[in-house]
Structures are given as C-alpha cells and as structure tokens.
Copies of this chain bind each other. A is one copy, B any other.
Amino acid sequence: MAHEEGNLNSFASILGNDIAIKAYREGRLPFPDGAIIAALHYRFIPSAENNKAFGRDQSCVAGAPTNVQFMVKDSKKYAATGGWGFGHFNSDGKTVDDAFMKTCFPCHQKMKERDLVFTRYSP
C-alpha cells in the first residue's frame, strides 16, 4: 500500500504474481524474469461516513479508481529499461501516449538498489 500526497493524492494497493511475491519474501534482488507487479490506484479521499461513526475526522479511504499500472520483468525483452516493461491502463479507458510512458523508467531508475521497485514487502 502507498499513499502519494500532492497533486497525485492517490491510494495504491500493490500486488504481485507468485514469482514476484516469492522474490519479495526471500529478499531476492534483482527480481527474476516472469515477475509481475501491479499497482491499483485510486483517489485518496476522506470518508464522511466513517468519520461520523468515529466522532472525529480521521478516516481516509480509496475513492474512484484512476488507473492500474504494471511492471513485467523480462531482462532480455526490456533490457533497455532495466529489465522491466511498464504498463499503464487508465480506469476511464483512455489510452496514454508514448511521451507519458517514457516517464516511467527515469523515475523508477532512481530506485536502482531495489531493482527499480518502489514498493517494499509488507509481511
């Protein structure tokens, strides 16, 4: 899970396929080929109904879905971008252009010591 503030203001649930989760659990880096990590992004919104029940403003929950992003590990196919292929699917069905997709790798590359993966494993 992750919450990004600022203009993103997003709430993310991050999932992995069996290969990715196994690597996470074993602390194996780099991730092996075949690993897939998915990030389900939603708006990060206050919950008026929860706050009413709790008697104070404390609760933030997932709002409308915004997009789903994927990282797919294939060290040969995606050699030019650190072995990872990046995918982005807007929840409204609109596609994103190449310029948008070219922003994935430069940012993820900053997390080189963890094989470009921002999300840590939550046991």
Chain B residue contacts of A93, Cβ below 8 A:
none
Contact A65 B122 (CB under 8 A): yes
- Which of A8, A56, A118 has the most C-beta atoms of chain B within 10 angstroms of its own C-beta? A118
Of residues 1 through 42 on chain A, the ones whose CB sits less than 8 Å from some CB of chain B are 1-6, 8, 11, 13, 40, 42
Docked Cα-Cα span, A65 to B122, in Å, equals: 8
How many copies altogether? Answer: 2
Chain A contact residue count (CB 8 A cutoff): 34
Taking the complex as formed, is A72 at the interface, i.e. its CB lies under 8 A from any CB of chain B? no
The 7 listed contacts between A and B (C-beta, < 8 Å) are A2-B50, A3-B44, A4-B59, A5-B58, A53-B107, A61-B119, A65-B123
